[in-house]
């Protein structure tokens, strides 16, 4: 079948709800935390040179930037037919159907699906690094990258080696101190973390991480809705447990003419956000019910905003109580990943897998088109005991 036929058939079969295949992404500089439900034998399915698989991307039309050996479709989500025999890129579906898929306003604004989400599952902490804002990302042909964090209990049976995240810089730190740390990158531990502060990560809470903010993510498995960009640079040279960061990652997404210019690296930092003395108050997020808890509970569900401090990206958590059937309306297209329970989602079988082989299809991930979202999606919990828990990622401000 031609891709146009596959896409239209999938939309017709699913009444505007598209089943997506698992989308695994390796990282050569990371170590898998093994909380993605991927089969233990498959975390290095792409070979040691490509690195271990420690990310699963959701509703993605963004290519993963993993160097010259990266396949053309790495990071891109595939729509699959109901029988699992046909597939087409979500990217192609959106380019062909435009506003019919994601809403006319979103299409007019971005001409693409501008976000994706992922599970990031690393055994240890990442280096203190930065995502460029639009100004600096545009210098290398990319977009700025705001991102949000949430730490679901369901995918955190252990905390990894270091469940603490460093954010920003200590108030009073100077640009000269940061520049000196960057200049010392190749000499050993540049002690950049000595200029920062860490926060203990709490399950079922989240953080807002604007572009330009230094952050060294801790070792909880993290749900990350983010803008559709893979732009970053690593500013810390040596991690805990003596893992070294290649110098090439210090200069990643730096224009060729600026490589070697440490002042440029300092300029990428949003200074006021990084030294904010109220960083926790301004960036930390507790779940917020979308309406009265009693009203929702009486109707058989609970829905909460879990990522809500960014105007470009946001997310909800939907919990459907045992034995209940609810219809949930939203004002924009969105993607979902189901992390607990089983039932029926908009006519599709919905189930949370215990174990997934690399290349195996699942029934836990879907993309909901704009019209289907506005019409409302019926969710039926087939269990008399267990809740269904779904994470929903959206682009931009909601109506």
- pLDDT above 80 (res 398): no
Do 345 and 380 lie in one domain? The reply is yes
Residue 52 forms part of a structural domain: yes
**Which tokens is 1 given?**
């079948």
Q: Are residues 134 and 253 in the same domain?
A: yes
Q: Has residue 1 got a pLDDT over 80?
A: no
pLDDT digits (tens, 9 = 90+) for 152-204: 999 999 999 999 999 999 999 999 999 999 999 999 999 999 999 999 999 99
Say if residue 380 is in the same domain as residue 277.
Answer: no
Helix (H, G, I), strand (E, B) or coil at 372: helix
Q: Quick one: pLDDT at residue 397?
A: 58
Could you tell me if residue 123 is inside a domain? yes
Domain presence at residue 87: no
67 pLDDT tier (thresholds 50, 70, 90): confident
How many Cβ atoms are within 10 Å of 198's Cβ, its own excluded? 14
Does one domain contain both 281 and 310? no
Q: Give me the domain span that covers residue 33.
A: 26-64+112-285
Packing angle between helix 90-97 and helix 3-14, nearest 10 degrees?
90
* Domain termination site, one of 233, 265, 285: 285
Query: In this structure, is residue 10 part of a structural domain?
Result: no
pLDDT of residue 33: 96
Q: What is the mean pLDDT of residues 264-292?
A: 98
List of residues 6+ apart from 155 with CB closer than 8 A: 35, 36, 37, 119, 121, 221, 223, 339
CATH code, domain with 358? 2.60.120.10
Q: If 0-12 CB within 10 Å is exposed, 13-18 middle and 19+ buried, where does residue 159 land?
A: middle
Among residues 285, 319, 353, the one where a domain terminates is 285
Do 216 and 310 fall within a single domain?
no
Provide the pLDDT for residue 240.
83
Half-sphere exposure of 374 (CA within 13 A, CB side): 11
Contact predicate 110/199, CB 8 Å? no
Distances (CA, A) of 300 to 169, 293, 327, 335: 44, 11, 10, 22
Please give the Cα distance from 393 to 118 (Å, whole number): 10
Q: What is the pLDDT of residue 242?
A: 82
Residue 88 clears pLDDT 60, i.e. is over it: yes
Instruction: Judge if 385 and 236 occupy the same domain.
Output: no
Question: 223 with 305, same domain?
Answer: no
- Using the 3D structure, point to which of 285, 310, 329 is the last residue of a domain: 285
Whether residue 255 is found in the same domain as residue 356:
no
Structural tokens at position 365 = 């991930």
Distance CA 366, CA 59 (A): 8
- Per-residue pLDDT of 251-264, as tens digits, reads 999 999 999 999 99
Lowest pLDDT segment from 66-75, 123-132, 299-308, 361-370: 66-75
* Cβ atoms within 10 Å, residue 85: 9
Distances (CA, A) of 69 to 51, 72, 74, 141, 158: 11, 9, 10, 20, 32
Q: Mean pLDDT, the chain, as a whole number?
A: 96
- Say if residue 188 is in the same domain as residue 249: yes
Task: Compute the C-alpha angle 274/234/279, nearest 5°.
Answer: 20
In degrees rounded to 5, what are phi and psi of residue 254?
-105, 130
3-state secondary structure of 165: strand
Query: How many Cβ atoms are within 10 Å of 38's Cβ, its own excluded?
Result: 24
The Cα–Cα gap between 36 and 185 comes to: 32
DSSP H or E segment with residue 97: helix 90-97
* Residue located via tokens 């709490």: 202
Domain identity same for 139 and 208: yes
Write out 3-32 in H/E/C secondary structure. Answer: HHHHHHHHHHHHCCEEEECCCEEEECCCCE
Q: Are residues 270 and 314 in the same domain?
A: no
Contact status, residue 222 vs residue 153, Cβ threshold 8 Å: no
Number of domains the chain is built from: 2
d(Cα 243, Cα 220) in Å, to the nearest integer? 18
d(CA 208, CA 314): 10
Q: Is the C-alpha dihedral spanning 225, 74, 55, 197 positive or negative?
A: negative
Residue keyed to tokens 């989500």? 77
Same domain, residue pair 281 and 322: no
Environment class of residue 330 by beta-carbon count within 10 Å: exposed (0-12), middle (13-18) or buried (19+)? buried
**Of the candidate ranges 36-40, 67-71, 90-94, 244-248, the one whose mean pLDDT is the lowest:** 67-71
Query: Which range (61-70, 287-296, 303-312) has the least confidence?
Result: 61-70
């Amino acid at each position: 079948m031609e891709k146009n036929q596959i896409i239209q058939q999938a939309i017709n079969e699913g009444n505007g709800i598209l089943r997506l295949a698992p989308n695994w992404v390796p990282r050569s500089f990371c170590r898998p935390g093994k909380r993605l439900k991927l089969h233990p034998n498959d975390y290095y399915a792409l070979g040691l040179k490509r690195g271990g698989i420690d990310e699963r991307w959701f509703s993605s039309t963004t290519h993963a930037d993993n160097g010259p050996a990266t396949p053309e479709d790495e990071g891109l989500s595939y729509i699959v037919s109901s029988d699992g025999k046909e597939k087409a890129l979500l990217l192609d579906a959106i380019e062909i159907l435009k506003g019919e898929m994601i809403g006319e306003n979103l299409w007019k604004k971005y001409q693409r699906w501008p976000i994706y989400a992922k599970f990031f599952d690393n055994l240890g902490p990442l280096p203190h690094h930065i995502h460029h804002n639009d100004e600096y990302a545009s210098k290398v042909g990319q977009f700025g990258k705001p991102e949000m964090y949430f730490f679901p209990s369901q995918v955190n049976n252990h905390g990894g080696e270091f469940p603490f995240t460093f954010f920003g810089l200590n108030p009073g730190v100077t640009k000269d101190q940061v520049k000196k740390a960057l200049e010392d990158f190749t000499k050993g531990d540049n002690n950049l973390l000595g200029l920062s502060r860490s926060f203990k990560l709490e399950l079922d809470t989240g953080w807002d991480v604007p572009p330009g903010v230094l952050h060294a993510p801790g070792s909880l498995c993290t749900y990350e809705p983010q803008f559709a960009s893979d732009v970053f640079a690593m500013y810390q040279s040596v991690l805990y447990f003596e893992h070294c960061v290649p110098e090439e990652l210090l200069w990643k997404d730096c224009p060729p003419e600026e490589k070697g210019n440490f002042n440029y690296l300092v300029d990428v930092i949003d200074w006021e956000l990084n030294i904010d003395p109220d960083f926790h108050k301004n960036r930390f997020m507790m779940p917020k019910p979308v309406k009265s808890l009693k009203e929702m509970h009486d109707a058989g569900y609970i829905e909460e905003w879990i990522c809500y401090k960014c105007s470009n990206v946001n997310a909800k958590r939907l919990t459907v109580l045992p034995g209940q059937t609810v219809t949930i309306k939203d004002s924009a297209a969105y993607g979902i990943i189901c992390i607990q329970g089983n039932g029926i989602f908009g006519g599709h079988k919905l189930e949370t897998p215990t174990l997934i082989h690399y290349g195996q299809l699942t029934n836990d991930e879907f993309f909901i088109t704009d019209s289907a979202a506005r019409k409302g999606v019926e969710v039926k919990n087939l269990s008399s005991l267990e809740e269904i828990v779904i994470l929903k990622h959206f682009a931009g401000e909601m109506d």
